[in-house]
Amino acid sequence: MSETKELTYSDVAEHSSKKDLYLVVHDKVYNATEFVDEHPGGEEVLMDVGGQDATEAFEDVGHSDEAREILDKLLVGDLKRVAGDPAPKSEPPKPTAGTTTQDSTGFGIGIYALVLLGGALAFGAYKYLQLQSTEQK
């Protein structure tokens, strides 16, 4: 493809059937028609976003590098935005070497809180048992 084709949302919306399925991911238009039956998540997943912007659905699943390579092979062109189109979906941050795209801060704080709570409960149980043993003497 030497020249990039430009399609509008209305052009994409015309391709929303199983036998003719386009979708938009990060302002790129893809022809998913040949991939509908092969999609690991089932055809319904693609049919739900056919003829629409599928960026959020695509990124929420966390597709593999292999899935992104397959997507590249389905490229038809770029989305040409016109007045009245939905707002673009934001680009996800590009991962760099040694970083992940997932936020692990919440998980780390949760583990810390769990360990702290477990320690407090263990200390309380120890003191309770110690008190019980001194009362029995």
Distance, CA of 39 to CA of 49 (rounded, Å)? 13
Q: Taking a C-beta distance cutoff of 8 angstroms, is the pair 23, 51 a contact?
A: yes
What torsion do the CA atoms of 118, 103, 72, 33 make, to the nearest 10 degrees?
60
* Confidence (pTM): 0.61
pLDDT at 111: 82
Domain 5-80: which CATH number of 3.10.120.10, 3.40.50.300, 2.40.50.100, 2.30.42.10: 3.10.120.10
Q: What is the pLDDT along the chain (137 residues), one digit of tens a residue?
A: 456 789 998 899 999 899 999 999 999 999 999 998 889 888 888 899 988 898 888 888 888 889 899 999 999 999 988 887 777 665 554 555 554 555 555 567 778 888 899 999 999 999 999 988 887 76
In the prediction, which pLDDT does 23 show?
Answer: 93
pLDDT at position 1 is: 47
| Closest CA relative to residue 25, chosen from 15, 34, 12, 35 | 12
Q: Residue 27: which residues within 8 A CB-CB, separation 6 or more?
A: 78, 79, 81, 88
In this structure, are residues 31 and 74 in contact, taking their beta carbons and an 8 Å threshold?
yes
- Would you kindly state where each structural domain of the chain is located, as residue ranges? 5-80, 104-137
Both tokens of residue 99? 């970083």
Look at residue 137 in the predicted model and tell me its pLDDT.
65
Picking from 71, 82, 84, 83, the residue whose alpha carbon sits closest to that of residue 23 is: 71
Q: What Å distances lie between residue 88 and 9, 11, 78, 91, 117, CA to CA?
A: 11, 16, 13, 9, 44
Catalogue the E-assigned strands of the chain. Answer: 5-7, 16-17, 20-25, 28-31, 75-79
Instruction: Specify whether the CB–CB gap between 22 and 70 falls below 8 A.
Output: no
